[in-house]
Amino acid sequence: MGQILKIRELDRDDELGAVKKEISSRNGNFSFETPIVSQRKSTLSNTVQPLRINEIPRQINDRVVIELEERGITPFAYEVKQERLQDRLNLTIFNFQFDSVPSNKTLRLLAHALHASSEDVMFLPAVKTLFLQETIPNRKTPIYSIKKVHDYLEMMKTIIYESKFRNGQELIGTIPLIPPKFVRPIIEFYLSEGIEAFAIDANFKDIILNEGDFRLILSEINMEKPLNETLIFACNVGIPQFEQHAIRSDDFLSIFAYVDVLGLTFKKRGGGVGIPRAKVFSREKYAYDVYSYPDASRVVGRPLNYSSLKYLNRIEQLKETHKVQHLLGDEKIKEYLQTKNAVDHASMKKLESIANNIKVA
């Protein structure tokens, strides 16, 4: 097992990939049960439901690099530490905004900044899709590139060894949801480094609609490290985009596909036009009901904006994960999901496909 994380299976469902685990730290700093959703520190955080996993995302770009060079790492890390919560798993997440690998000097700087800003667990940086792609003459869209994947792995090696993670920190290996040819070397590298916790960065892809590629990632991990002995984190998970009145919550459904922690969407989606739509999570339907923001405020009974609605949805999802934890081992989760009218036959089959094609010890 890892240096910090203790992972113990408590219960599982026989038909779907829903596993109840106890995740705790060997130094006693945090403990929680899965499946669960993470959250950001908020002034409302302690008024509704206790939060167990606190994300602290940072967008890393050229401006931040200049700030680190000129002000130093210590002030940056101090500001990050102000967002920590006691007795929680605090995850500092660097989202690289670069289109290609920074210089070695910059990488070393960022590695030390990430190490200094992390607590018990160090989350390897997320990258843009373009980071792993290259432009080909006479092609309209970039394509994934083995060379770019190799550069990505060299970057991760530098970060790992420069930050000296073996000195008391656990690593979470970030895995982009990309085609098999390009993702396998990434998984193999992390496993060779003894990494036992993984974050699948969907980059706004819908995991349920891309269950084949998602299932392969889980299978590759499971071949070397059984999923009931690992921590699987999923972030930037997308949902169907075209429904007008109710959108099935495919992001939340990932907790029935061996995802232990549903993380936040810390990346920024580009190209948004038109009137913003308010998406309100429904525990009864497992869908996001779609309204205008004034209508959503009337339905919920309080003024809402993007940030407050995002927080409200996470609280409702946190409550629902607690219910799922309680049900695991006591009743069939498939029967419970069938009471949610947004979970149709096709999506149920995809969840069953993920579970049935991955044999966990």
Q: Which domains does the chain show, CATH number per domain?
A: 5-356 (3.20.20.105)
**Across-strand partners of 281?**
288
Neighbours of 13 (CB within 10 A): 21
138: which DSSP letter?
A: T
Rg (alpha carbons) of the chain, rounded to whole number? 20
pLDDT at 272: 56
Look up residue 312 and give its amino acid.
L
Reported as a single tens digit per residue, the pLDDT across 16-51 is 999 999 999 998 999 999 999 999 876 555 444 567
Which residues are CB-contacts of 94 (< 8 A; sequence separation ≥ 6)?
A: 58, 60, 110, 113, 114, 123, 125, 126
CB 58 within 8 A of CB 92: yes
Please identify every stretch of the chain with a pLDDT value under 50, giving residue numbers as ranges.
1, 46-48
DSSP-assigned states of every residue in 167-208: TT-EEEEEEE---HHHHHHHHHHHHHTT--EEEEE-TT--TT
**Under 8 Å between Cβ of 218 and 201:** no
pLDDT at 244: 75
Q: Count CA atoms within 13 Å of residue 6 on its CB side.
A: 11
d(CA 22, CA 32): 6
Q: What is the pLDDT of residue 109?
A: 97
Per-residue pLDDT tens digits for 53-65: 999 999 999 999 9
Backbone angles phi, psi at 91, to 5 degrees: -115, 110
Residues 6+ apart with CB under 8 A from 96: 60, 102, 125, 126, 127, 128, 131
Residue-level pLDDT at 50: 63
| pTM score, whole prediction | 0.94
What pLDDT is stored for residue 1 in this prediction? 45
How many CB atoms are closer than 10 A to CB 45?
18
Q: Which structure tokens are listed for 177?
A: 């949801």
**Cis peptide bond N-terminal to 102, omega within 30:** no
The CA dihedral of 320, 321, 326, 327, to the nearest 10 degrees, is 80
Identify any residues that bridge with 60 across adjacent strands, giving them in sequence order. Answer: 96
